[in-house]
Structure 1
Amino acid sequence: MIRHTLRALCAATLVIAPLALTATPAHAATTCTVNGAAVTSTNVVGTAGADFITCGTVSAGDTVNGQGGADYIIVTGNVAGTVRGGAGRDYVQVGGPVAATGAVHGDADSDYVRAGANAGVVNGGLGFDFCRVASGNPPVNCEG
């Protein structure tokens, strides 16, 4: 009886162990610098005042939000998540491509939004916005 139980446990271990090794990795959070402080989160948030935010990439499902004030947001890599300037006259620049799952929003007030190849959404938002996209989908809600 014990021998049969041990065989069954060994067989179950051989089946379960490979499944555990092929599990989906955990979601990688976005890493940015907000006003000089390093922040790693799925939701990177500025302050109600003017902020200086720099990020390497914005992962799918993650958000970078400058909130209020005249924010300066620079993403040097890809945007698969969402970048929001928030209220205020914001400068948002994305050096890498905006993925199909990605979005860059200037939000309220007059903003300057600049992006590389755009497969997602670049939206100036409310106000008189100046937007430039290198290629791909044209920006929306941009007057200049």
Structure 2
Amino acid sequence: MIRHAMRTLCAAALVAAPVALTATPAQALTSCTVNGVPVSGTTVSGTAGSDFISCGPLAPGDTVNGLGGSDYITVSGVVAGTVDGGAGGDTVMANSGTAAGGRVLGGDGGDSLFVGPNAGTVDGGPGAGFCRVASGNPPVNC
């Protein structure tokens, strides 16, 4: 009787395990630090003042907003979402580049944007800005 019960439990475990592994994964969140404080979410924002924002890759729909001040924003992976420096003289570094649909925006003010291969949009925004892309789509408003 015990042997039969063990076989039944083992068989049930083998059937249930693949069902548990096929569950839909949760949406990936952008992982960043804002002024040294870990922050995650689909939208990450700085403050009204100058900020240092460092993020991993940005998935489509993820947004990083520098807001006001002279922000320094660095993305250590491909930008498939949006980086917006906001108002002020911002520096944005996205050396891994942008995916199609990805956007790196300087915002208002004299910004410096440094982007790797650009399959998306790099826009310096209003004001005198400097933009450099490694290859791909040329930047605008720079």
| TM-score bracket for this pair, using the shorter chain length | 0.7 to 0.9
The amino acid that maps onto 1:76 is: S
Tell me, in whole angstroms, the C-alpha distance in 2 between the residues paired with 1:60 and 1:26: 15
Q: 1:37 to 1:131 in 2, by over 3 A?
A: same
The amino acid that maps onto 2:96 is: G
Determine helix, strand or coil for the equivalent of 1:73: strand
Tell me, in whole angstroms, the C-alpha distance in 1 between the residues paired with 2:101 and 2:24: 19
Deviation of residue 101 (structure 1)? 2.0
Tell me, in whole angstroms, the C-alpha distance in 2 between the residues paired with 1:24 and 1:82: 25
Deviation of residue 21 (structure 1)? 5.5
Tell me, in whole angstroms, the C-alpha distance in 2 between the residues paired with 1:23 and 1:141: 45
Tell me, in whole angstroms, the C-alpha distance in 2 between the residues paired with 1:25 and 1:100: 24
Please, what TM-score do these two structures have when normalized by structure 2? 0.83
Q: Which residue number in structure 2 is paired with residue 100 of structure 1?
A: 100
* Aligned pairs, number: 126
Query: 5+ unaligned residues in a row in structure 1: which ranges?
Result: 1-13
Q: Which residue number in structure 2 is paired with residue 133 of structure 1?
A: 133
Q: Which residue number in structure 2 is paired with residue 45 of structure 1?
A: 45
CA RMSD of aligned residues (A): 1.5
Q: Which residue number in structure 1 is paired with residue 8 of structure 2?
A: none
Determine helix, strand or coil for the equivalent of 2:74: strand
The amino acid that maps onto 2:47 is: T
Tell me, in whole angstroms, the C-alpha distance in 1 between the residues paired with 2:106 and 2:97: 17
Tell me, in whole angstroms, the C-alpha distance in 1 between the residues paired with 2:23 and 2:95: 32
The amino acid that maps onto 2:120 is: G
Tell me, in whole angstroms, the C-alpha distance in 2 between the residues paired with 1:135 and 1:27: 30
Tell me, in whole angstroms, the C-alpha distance in 2 between the residues paired with 1:117 and 1:25: 29
Question: 1:41-90: CA deviations, max 9, x gaps?
Answer: 11000000000000111111000000000000011111110000000000
Determine helix, strand or coil for the equivalent of 1:131: strand
Tell me, in whole angstroms, the C-alpha distance in 2 between the residues paired with 1:115 and 1:140: 13
